[in-house]
Structure 1
Amino acid sequence: MVKVGILGGTFDPPHYGHLIIAQEVLTALQLDEIWFMPTNVPPHKENAKTKGEERIEMVKRAIDDNPNFFLQTIEFERSGPSYTYETIGLLQKRYPKAEFYFIIGADMVEYLPNWQHIEELVRQVQFVGVKRPSFKVKSNYPIIEVEVPQFEISSSQLRDRFKNKQNTKYFLPDLVKQYIEEKNLYGAK
């Protein structure tokens, strides 16, 4: 059985916070792989600021140098909101020899009671909660908690930094930063 961590998100753009979370969970739980899974249409957030293919390319560039990190684009195979319950069902059919660990931030742990089909979902996948500032990993659902060094940057902060011509060095991988600047994403030049 292959132990696979899934880190979903809009990744608009992906940054070192995402990579730190993925590596810490991989190491702490002795997983074999982490799959970065960009959402097509996020059900709990506003839509992404960039096109799906741009976010996919940024994730590819962000994880390029880690042999345990992979891109999973299953949520782009269907239209409409990307509900985790449906996605996990598809992944289990496609990869029956994989045991899935779904990685979420503490902010999402608090929101779990609102997830579609959460009772069935917690039987299908092991949730992994990572700490975030101002949130606690407390839930009535079975969650493995992983301590992760705090890296206080968000994708929305990075978009603002690009838009306002502020420093973005050391916040995200150089290959991602180069792509953003080449494509003039988020107002970058």
Structure 2
Amino acid sequence: MTNDEKIGLLGGTFDPPHTGHLLIAEGVRDALQLDEVWFIPTYEAPHKQSSGTGVDSRLQMLKQAIKTNQNFYINDIEIERKGVSYTVDTVTLLREKHHDVQFHFIIGADIVEYLPHWHEIERLLDLVKFIGVGRPGYKMKTDYPIIEADVPLMDISSTDVRRRVKEGQTIKYLVPECVETYIYKRRLYEQK
């Protein structure tokens, strides 16, 4: 990697990965002229309750979702570590491995409001630039330095996708077709 390479980081459970994730990643990559966007699936998120979907299924869906974009990659650093991962620990390790890369952590406006509660936020601000993207119903108000990226807004959430599958509603166009096929083939999120 060259010393001026700019990498976007998009973390999440990706349970499942949906069209909104892809639109945000590509929109930020284009708006900020990032070289790549690395998707960082969590093993176990510190602030979310598990849906019960195994890490292998989440990883397979994410691989399928990004396979057509040559600028998207998966970094499984948090899966390899297992347990709860904090962003500050992940970014610290990434900086140790890639000292000359400028990392940009992509977050939605809903997360911008939550930044004061992040684990070691002050140290994290020294390690990474935050890129904020709008989300319907949220404002981008914060005292922290956030670079705002203007990307189209899509009100899609993994929680809603899971609910729709459980209730027998369509998820067509909310997730990539390959992810939809995987969900139905594996019978994920159905009523148990």
TM-score (norm: length of structure 2): 0.95
User: 1:47 and 1:2 mapped to 2: Cα distance?
Assistant: 34
Q: For residue 90 of structure 1, what is the aligned residue in structure 2?
A: 93
- Following TM superposition, the consecutive aligned residue runs of length 4 or more in structure 1 with deviations greater than 4 angstroms are none
2:138 aligned with 1:125: no
Partner of 1:161: 164
For 2:100 and 2:182, the matched residues in 1 are separated by 35
How far did residue 73 of structure 1 move? 0.5
2:153 aligned with 1:183, yes or no? no
Q: Write the distance in 1 (CA, Å) between the matches of 2:57 and 2:33.
A: 31
* Identity in percent: 51
Residue in structure 1 matched with residue 147 of structure 2 by the alignment: 144
Q: Which runs of 5+ in 2 are unaligned?
A: none
Q: 1:95, CA displacement in angstroms?
A: 1.6
Corresponding residue to 1:6 among 5, 9, 19: 9
In the alignment, the residues of structure 2 paired with residue 77 and residue 135 of structure 1 have an alpha-carbon distance, to the nearest angstrom, of 33
The number of residues matched between the two structures is: 188
1:114-170 deviation digits (Å, cap 9, x = unpaired): 111111100110000111111111211111011221211111111111111111111
Q: What SS is found at the alignment partner of 1:49? A: coil
Aligned to 1:55: 58
Superposition CA RMSD, Å: 1.1
- Superposition TM-score, scaled by structure 1 size: 0.96
Residue 26, structure 1, aligned to residue 29, structure 2: yes
1:43 aligns with 2:46: yes
Q: 1:28-80 deviations in whole A, cap 9, x for unaligned?
A: 00000001111111011112430111101110000000000001110012132
Q: How does 1:92-111 map to 2 (within 5 A)?
A: 92-111=95-114
SS in 1 for 2:162: helix
Structure 1, unaligned runs of 5 or more: none
